[in-house]
Structure 1
Amino acid sequence: MAYGYEAVPGEVGVRRIVEGEADVVRRIFCEYLAGNSPRDIAHGLNVDGIAPPRGSRWNASTNNGNAKRANGILQNSLYAGRQVWNRVRMIKDPDSGRRVSRPNPPEE
């Protein structure tokens, strides 16, 4: 689930805003629009002791993500009000046995 949102039980695809996390998302966008880099934003969030979505620390890729995969807080279209379905598919890596995500073509 995207940071700042939680699933609504029993309603497939419906998300509810988590206000505490939404405040952090708003802060990230405000700081980015003010000219701060994703790395500087991550540093400030870590200094302020704000818990990241996963792991123990914020980093630049958490905020910036990957433009090609449209992930990360600043790249994710969900934060612009557009929910995109079928963005990736999961396949099993035959060597490691782990699930690996692969982007689907945009027309899908």
Structure 2
Amino acid sequence: MAKCPACAHEVATPFVLNADAWRWLVCPHCSARLERKNPQIVVPLIGFWVALLALGRLGHRFAVVAEVLMVAIFVVILVKFMRPELQLRKPLPKPEIELKINDPSN
């Protein structure tokens, strides 16, 4: 569950990999079109994760510290994906050319 930025009500979010459900996500209370914000912290944490792999090779104590930090990073990333932040979807742009099919021709 995540909060709608427009009305602050809880919104049930689909599974992370279900792209079609994310495309049609709307708030059931205010009908605002919503989309998932990109998690800003995941990329630095993955870089830190890779650095911990090298730290684990320096000795037993460093390996234990690296494993504990890796578990903590994994939990933070999981929480970020399970409780995504939502933002309002930008409205579709107006078309530059309009087809007037029902208008009589001149």
TM-score by length of 2: 0.25
Name whichever structure is richer in helix by fraction: 2
Q: Tell which structure's C-alpha radius of gyration is larger.
A: 2
TM-score by length of 1: 0.25
Name whichever structure is richer in strand by fraction: 1
